[in-house]
Structure formats: C-alpha cells, structure tokens
Amino acid sequence: MRTQVAIIGSGPSGLLLGRLLTLAGIDNIIIDRVDREYILGRVRAGVLEQGMVNMMREAQASEKLDAEGLPHDGFEIALNGGLHHIDLHGLTGGKRVTIYGQTEVTRDLMDKREADGVTTIYDAQHVTPREFGGKNPWISYEKDGATHRIDADFIIGCDGFHGPSRKAVPPKAIETFERVYPFGWLGLLADVPPAAEELVYGKHARGFTLCSMRSKTRSRYYLQVPLTDQVENWSDDAFWDELRRRLPEQVADAVVTGPSFEKSIAPLRSFVAEPMRFGKLFLAGDAAHIVPPTGAKGLNLAASDIRYLFDGLREHYADKSPAGLNAYSERALARIWKAERFSWWMTTMLHTFAEDDAFGRRIHDAELSYTLSSVAARTALAENYVGLPY
Ligand code: APR
Ligand code: PHB
C-alpha cells in the first residue's frame, strides 16, 4: 500500500488531520491498534477553545458541535464555602469556551471519514514506523495473522502517550521533560442535570473537586484521590457524599445524584518531548505531550499541533515549500510550553499536596487568594483558559 501521509492513531489528532488532508486533496491512511467502538468508549474531557471549534468548522465537521455545544462565558472557583466567578467573556474582550465532549468530536470526525470513504485500518498489531530518517519511510503492521506495509511520504505519530511513534525515535535524538503528580482524579459520569450552569473548580482541605458536564442532562464530576485508591472501593454513594462534602452548600444542595455509567481513576502528569519532528516522522497531540486535566488543555493542544502540521503539509504539497514543516516543531512547542505552564499552575494552586509543609500550604492559599482578588491575575487566568492565540 502507498499513500502520501500515513497517520498512526485514530484519536482526535489523527482524525482531524486526516479530514483536513482529505479536504485538501492529500491522500492519507489512518491506522489504529483498536477499533472504532473501543476508541469511542474512552471518556475524556470536553472544554473546547475557540481555536478548536474553528478547526472543526474548517474540517466541515461542526454541524453537531454548532447545534449541541454549550457556550460558556465563565466558570466558578469554589473556596472556603463561597463561589468566585471567573468572567471569561468580560476579561478576554468577548471570548468564551464551548462544552462538547471529546467522544463526540471523535465520533463526528469518524463519521465524516467513513462518508469520505478514506482508508482506515483498525485492529492493527505491532504498528511500527520505519526508516523515517531516510527518503522512503514506511510502516509495518500485522493484521489477521499477516504482515503488511504502508509506504508514505510522511509518517504522523498521533498515537497518544503510549503509542509506538515516539518510542521509535533513537533516545539520543529526543529529550523528554516530565512531572508526575502525587494524586489522581476519580471521575464519574451520570445522566443527571449539572449542579451549576457553569463549571465549578473547587479547592478544599479534603482535596480538589470539579463539577463539569457534557450536556444539560449529563454531568461529569471529579474528586482528587490518593493514587493508592481503587475505583472498585468507591461506591456511587461514597462518591456523591464526598463530592457534596467538598462543595459550598449552595452547590452541594443542587447536586442531583443518580447511577453512574462510568467511573475511573486517572493519574495526572505533565510531559513534553522535544523536538516533534524526526526526518519524515512528526509527532502530534498526546504522543508528544501530556498536561494534567485541570486546565482542560489536552484536546486543545492537539488541535493547535494539527493546525501547524496541516499548514506545513499543505505548503509542502501545494507550494512545494518546506518552510511550514521545517518550522512545525518550534511553532508547536512554543504554544505547548505555555499550556504546560498554565496546566501545572492550575493544578498546583487548586489541589492539596500531602507532602506540603505549612509554608507550602500558605503559599498555595495565597496564590489562589491573590488570583481571585486581582483583576490582573484573573485576566491572565482567563486569557490562558480560553486559549492563547495560534
Ligand atoms: N498502534 C496503533 N495505534 C495506536 C497504538 C499502536 N501501538 N497505540 C495507541 N494507538 C492509538 C490509540 O488506540 C488511540 O486511538 O492512537 C490513538 C491516540 O489517541 P489519543 O490518545 O486520543 O490521542 P490524541 O489523538 O493525540 O488526542 C489528544 O486525547 O488523551 C486525550 O487529553 C488528551 O484530549 C487530548 C486528546
Ligand atoms: C471534563 O468535563 O471532563 C473536564 C472539564 C474541565 C477540565 C477537565 C475535565 O478542566
């Protein structure tokens, strides 16, 4: 098999790039280790920056997003029994975010790809990028007991944090930066109306909480928990009790409980790999970087990577210019590091750290108290939350 652009990974990064390439008349194949239903079973975040919404429109895949996405002009920070409003719209000169689940983004892009009739290979094993340091890169994989090969002009690693693309790079050619946080997020999804109109990020001595939503009838809640906790030991009742304990009374009273249909514990990590290009192999999305979910930046960073990468590929094919591809890694990393900083800062400010001494606790409290009381600090928070410019 031969194609122009071979994409490993059928998550939002790979699918968005694939769709944009198809619309631009650039031939592409997507290959994934699992199948469509498995991918759509993953529960991920759902706060879209305007840049991501614009990308979905450019990909002509925004019908459902435009109809069902919930525009949010702000969010709340809960502290010491009170609520503090962050007026995103007012602080940023009219910007906002859109609530729309990553699962929905993925499904919408998969549906477009199916309608386009473009090749997608699911359930492929041992997918490996080969010879990307030379002129003729290719991918080997196994499926149905046979070994196959895809030859391509470029290989794009959109295969997430655990995928094979980054691992295929010689260790000497790549530098990684990492911070692992000493707690996890226990998430619960239920078909109950949200407790508040906007998202509520809560700081509490018992740990961080987040009240989020997927729609007006589906809520997503999170609790900071020790990494040693087992999800099996968290009954729904225990979750709802602990959630209400950590929230201000007015929000706690508005929590509508119901049976969960998803519950899981996720670790929190900051991670960046540099550079993001190795000859004919490019990394994008979670394959190159991870943020803790506190700033809701994971999906949005994948979108900005694809913005720069797609522009580079289009320039390569349409204008025969290597400039965009040559600039990709540097352009993407400049934005990634700012989102890494913001996500780390939100995480540090809003969580409780068991290893903090009394001084550290006071400093974190002062950071939050300053942010809430200063227009300049709230403006910086809002500017980052709605998304820095591409
Ligand atoms: N071979 C082929 N495909 C693979 C392999 C492999 N060995 N390993 C992983 N993949 C596939 C996964 O099955 C998945 O479908 O790569 C895809 C990666 O998708 P995501 O993890 O969703 O990553 P990305 O598309 O970059 O999306 C980033 O997802 O994790 C969230 O917070 C993150 O919102 C951000 C977004
Ligand atoms: C979510 O809805 O899952 C969500 C929202 C905001 C975040 C993280 C996760 O910061």
Task: Name the 3-class secondary structure at 301.
Answer: helix
pLDDT tens for 150-193 read: 999 999 999 999 999 999 999 999 999 999 999 999 999 999 99
The enclosing domain of 23 has a CATH number of: 3.50.50.60
Count the Cβ atoms, other than its own, within 10 Å of residue 164: 18
pLDDT tens for 49-62 read: 999 999 999 999 99
Share of the chain above pLDDT 70, in %: 100
Alpha carbon nearest to ligand 2 atom 3, residue: 45
Query: Is 301 a domain residue?
Result: yes
Catalytic residue, chosen from 201, 221, 222, 308, is: 201
Tokens 């508005």 sit on residue: 254
Q: Cα 330 to the chain's mean position, in Å?
A: 20
Alpha carbon nearest to ligand 1 atom 8, residue: 163
Query: Is 16 a domain residue?
Result: yes
Alpha carbon nearest to ligand 2 atom 1, residue: 45
- Give the predicted TM-score (pTM) of the model: 0.97
Task: Name the 3-class secondary structure at 224.
Answer: strand
Q: What is the pLDDT of residue 44?
A: 87
Question: Per the structure, how many domains does the chain have?
Answer: 1
Residue 283 is which amino acid?
A: L
Query: Is 185 a domain residue?
Result: no
Catalytic residue, chosen from 181, 293, 308, 328, is: 293
* Mean pLDDT computed over 193-209: 97
Examine the pLDDT at 42 and tell me if it is beyond 90: no
pLDDT tens for 327-365 read: 999 999 999 999 999 999 999 999 999 999 999 999 999
> What is the C-alpha separation between 384 and 378, in angstroms, rounded?
10
Share of the chain above pLDDT 90, in %: 99
Q: What is the pLDDT of residue 267?
A: 96
Radius of gyration of the CA atoms of the chain, in A: 21
Residue 322 preceded by cis peptide, ω within 30:
no
> What is the C-alpha separation between 49 and 97, in angstroms, rounded?
5
Catalytic residue, chosen from 280, 289, 297, 364, is: 297
Query: Is 211 a domain residue?
Result: no
Q: What is the pLDDT of residue 68?
A: 97
Query: Is 78 a domain residue?
Result: no
Are 284 and 277 in contact by the 8 Å Cβ rule? The answer is no
Query: Is 188 a domain residue?
Result: no
- Relative to the CA of 295, which ligand 2 atom is closest? 10
Total residue length of the chain = 390
DSSP secondary structure, 278-329, as one string: ETTEEE-GGGTEE--GGG--HHHHHHHHHHHHHHHHHHHHHS---HHHHHHH
In this structure, the residues whose C-beta lies within 6 A of any atom of ligand 1 are 8-14, 31-34, 39, 44-45, 102, 127, 158-160, 162-164, 285-286, 298-299, 302
Provide the domain limits for residue 6.
Answer: 2-72+88-178+269-348
Q: Respond yes or no: is residue 385 known to be catalytic.
A: yes
Q: Respond yes or no: is residue 297 known to be catalytic.
A: yes
pLDDT tens for 212-223 read: 999 999 999 999
Q: What is the pLDDT of residue 324?
A: 98
**183: closest CA among 267, 242, 80, 263?**
267
* Mean pLDDT computed over 259-269: 96
Q: How far is the CA of 210 from the centre of ligand 2 (A)?
A: 7
> What is the C-alpha separation between 322 and 316, in angstroms, rounded?
5
Alpha carbon nearest to ligand 2 atom 4, residue: 45
Query: Is 255 a domain residue?
Result: no
DSSP secondary structure, 30-57, as one string: EE-SS-HHHHHT-----EE-HHHHHHHH
> What is the C-alpha separation between 248 and 240, in angstroms, rounded?
14
Q: What is the pLDDT of residue 74?
A: 98
Examine the pLDDT at 45 and tell me if it is beyond 90: no
Q: How far is the CA of 11 from the centre of ligand 1 (A)?
A: 5
Q: What is the pLDDT of residue 43?
A: 85
Q: How far is the CA of 30 from the centre of ligand 1 (A)?
A: 12
Q: Cα 99 to the chain's mean position, in Å?
A: 13
Q: Respond yes or no: is residue 351 known to be catalytic.
A: no
Are 217 and 191 in contact by the 8 Å Cβ rule? The answer is yes
* Mean pLDDT computed over 196-217: 96
pLDDT tens for 222-236 read: 999 999 999 999 999
**58 burial level (CB within 10 Å; 0-12, 13-18, 19+):** middle
Helices (H) and strands (E) in the chain, counts: 13, 19
Examine the pLDDT at 286 and tell me if it is beyond 90: yes
Query: Is 193 a domain residue?
Result: no
In the numeric block, which tokens belong to residue 59? 């990909």
**In degrees, to the nearest 5, what angle opens at C-alpha 3 toward C-alphas 108 and 140?**
95
Tokens 């499904």 sit on residue: 107
DSSP letter assigned to residue 280 = T
DSSP secondary structure, 202-220, as one string: EE-TT--EEEEESSSS-EE
Q: What is the pLDDT of residue 150?
A: 98
> What is the C-alpha separation between 388 and 390, in angstroms, rounded?
7
pLDDT tens for 124-135 read: 999 999 999 999
